[in-house]
Structure 1
Amino acid sequence: MLGRTLKNHSRTVATLAVGVLVGGAVAGGSFAIADSSTPRTDRQITNMTDEVSKIKAYYGDTVDAGGEHWPSATSNYAKQVAAIENDAQKYLDNKAKHDRGTKKAIVLDVDDTSLSTYNYELETTFVYNPTSNAQYIATKTMPAVFGMNTLATRAAQEGYTVFFITGRPEAQRASTAANLAAVGFPTADAEHLFLKNNATPPPYLPCAPTCTTIQYKSGTRAHIESLGYQIVADFGDQQSDLSGGHTERTFKIPNPMYYLP
């Protein structure tokens, strides 16, 4: 989820010294960690060069003629995503058959759930910067996370309304909607794409403009429910995308590049 602010963003340069892997969910570099205890010896610290190499291998790093990096469709990352999507598709197909007459919906996070930020992360050495982030989003078309555009399109064909909830700021609405459309996702218009608007926060988010990710995402899902929708599934690459309820089932997309609370 690339729409992260410096205030809420945990991947700071300070974490370079403490990139300890916890359960395989967090990688080194300038990656946030789930266990912030101080290492007692160097053996407890992940070697950053090694971790970046592992990330590249996991994603099947390929480089195009322009020097940009892309995940490979035959990578272990792609295979893991495909297995999750296969499970999700079976679930959605079954719900579509048996839950007729309800306004069914699914919710997708954007960054590293719908759109891959892999090239941006490598370009910035996994250090988030709001200026470079905004420039990248405004000028580049990120590829779809393998298969997610197909899953979302099929869900729409089966009668699901597809919503997107992202931590990107409201100023990036046009670029975000255009990117989603360019890589084959269902319409992400103003009614279906929710971005953070700290300047004029919506009334259904009383915590704004200081909402945590969980408060913002779950509060927005609650708002979607208030419109009469039954959220059948919620997809995200961070646990904070999925926590807080207001969905029947969650699907976690793998992302070892960073961690956001």
Structure 2
Amino acid sequence: MPRARARLSARRALAVTAAAATLGATFYGVGAASAANSAPRSDKEIPNLTDVVSEIKAYYGDTVDASGEHQASPAGNYARQVAGIEAKAESALARATDRHSGHGAHGTHAAKPAIVLDVDDTSLLTYNYELEVGFNYTPASNQAYLDTKNMPPVFGMDTLANWASAHGITVFWITGRAESQRADTARNLTAVGYRATPDTTHLYLKNTASPPAYLPCGATCTTIEYKSGTRAHIESLGYDIVGNFGDQYSDLSGGHADRSFKLPNPMYYLP
């Protein structure tokens, strides 16, 4: 699974996402979500897939451009929800920079401030790809897409990351994408406006062929083990992760961050 995307069927993935959203309402930042423990007893317990896809399109403010590509609207409800999360995050990061610079009540931090961003649907929006493949991710279709197209930035996340970088916060990315997608990922991030450099010391991808020594689970890491273990490694390099951003609870669980910010994603669920 190159992106550590343990895909459910599209129908079940959409239903599980709704359940995850309900669970997430009881948490700020980090929570947990899991698939239903029993099979539906009636079709009435299952959301109609066509209706759910239509709702997703409405939520993103779907438009189709001249080349037939689906675009999310910057005026849509998804963009509005993301903007609200980003506003809270910027305020939290500003307070963190004060603490690290010695202007806050707690004085100067020895560790350097950093943020960690997931890539898919945190930094880059997969919306058009997901519709193109019918919410049925495969490594082959994903690679074919990246071979010819760039995914746009998640609304405002490039601005937030660039603001953080300009204020002395180091930007790291941790993604479940395979190591083989490093060049495509770095190209895409740079092409759509991320000014922090996604080089080998700031962009971490999943390398199952040659896993790093700092991950005791090696090639068998779960998403939570891989991402939290990589954050722990970043901390060991002298950084204080003042903000961790992801669209999945598995991006955020496991500690090693002062604050976590959950971005919305009704398209799929990753354990």
Calculate the TM-score normalised by the size of structure 2: 0.88
| Superposition deviation, residue 14 in structure 1 | 7.9
8 A contact 2:100–2:112 mirrored in 1: no
Classify the secondary structure of the residue corresponding to 2:226: helix
2:208 to 193, 198, 201: 198
1:27-72 CA deviation, whole Å, 9 max, x = no partner? Answer: xxxxx97324211111101100000000000000011001000110
8 A contact 1:19–1:33 mirrored in 2: no
8 A contact 1:3–1:166 mirrored in 2: no
Question: Aligned pair in 2 of structure 1 residues 48, 14: CA closer, same or farther (>3 Å)?
Answer: closer
8 A contact 1:12–1:128 mirrored in 2: no
**Counterpart for residue 54 of structure 1:** 55
Question: Aligned pair in 2 of structure 1 residues 76, 217: CA closer, same or farther (>3 Å)?
Answer: same
| Aligned partner letter, 1:76 | N
8 A contact 1:138–1:172 mirrored in 2: no
| Aligned partner letter, 1:251 | F
| Aligned partner letter, 1:195 | L
Identity of aligned residues (%): 60
Output the CA distance in 2 between the equivalents of 1:64 and 1:35: 37
Question: What are the within-5 Å matches in structure 2 for residues 34-49 of structure 1?
Answer: 34-49=35-50
| Aligned partner letter, 2:169 | Y
8 A contact 2:11–2:49 mirrored in 1: no
| Aligned partner letter, 1:98 | R
1:71-121 CA deviation, whole Å, 9 max, x = no partner? Answer: 100000000000000000011111112222541100000000000000000
Is 1:224 the counterpart of 2:221 in the alignment? no
**Counterpart for residue 144 of structure 1:** 153
**Counterpart for residue 29 of structure 1:** none
**Counterpart for residue 209 of structure 1:** 219
Question: Aligned pair in 2 of structure 1 residues 256, 3: CA closer, same or farther (>3 Å)?
Answer: farther
Output the CA distance in 1 between the equivalents of 2:66 and 2:22: 32
1:199-225 CA deviation, whole Å, 9 max, x = no partner? Answer: 111000110201000000000000000
Question: Aligned pair in 2 of structure 1 residues 140, 45: CA closer, same or farther (>3 Å)?
Answer: same
| Superposition deviation, residue 160 in structure 1 | 0.4
2:261 to 232, 251, 261: 251
Output the CA distance in 1 between the equivalents of 2:10 and 2:56: 18
1:216-235 CA deviation, whole Å, 9 max, x = no partner? Answer: 00000000000000000100
The number of equivalent residue pairs is 252
Is 1:121 the counterpart of 2:130 in the alignment? yes
| Superposition deviation, residue 25 in structure 1 | 5.9
2:170 to 152, 161, 180: 161
- When the two chains are superposed, the root-mean-square deviation of aligned CA atoms in Å is 2.0
**Counterpart for residue 188 of structure 1:** 198
Output the CA distance in 2 between the equivalents of 1:103 and 1:139: 37
Output the CA distance in 2 between the equivalents of 1:3 and 1:221: 20
8 A contact 1:231–1:247 mirrored in 2: yes
**Counterpart for residue 4 of structure 1:** 3
| Superposition deviation, residue 238 in structure 1 | 0.1
Classify the secondary structure of the residue corresponding to 1:209: helix
8 A contact 2:116–2:173 mirrored in 1: yes
Question: Aligned pair in 2 of structure 1 residues 116, 127: CA closer, same or farther (>3 Å)?
Answer: same
Structure number with the bigger relative contact order (C-alpha 8 A, sep ≥ 6) is 2
8 A contact 2:15–2:46 mirrored in 1: yes
8 A contact 2:7–2:137 mirrored in 1: no
Structure 2 unaligned runs (5+)?
24-32, 102-107
